[in-house]
Structure 1
Amino acid sequence: MDSGGAGWTLMTIIGPILLIAVIAWAALRNRSSRASDDETERATRDLYREEDKAHRGEDDDVP
Structure 2
Amino acid sequence: WKCWAAPRVRFFHWLANLDRCWTADRLARRNLPHPPCCPLCDQAPETHHLLLGCPFARQVW
Same fold by TM-score greater than 0.5: no
Q: More helix by proportion, 1 or 2?
A: 1
Normalised by the length of structure 1, the TM-score is 0.28
Q: Which structure ranks higher in relative contact order (CA pairs < 8 Å, sequence separation ≥ 6)? A: 2
Higher Rg of the two aligned structures: 1
Query: TM-score when scaled to structure 2?
Result: 0.28
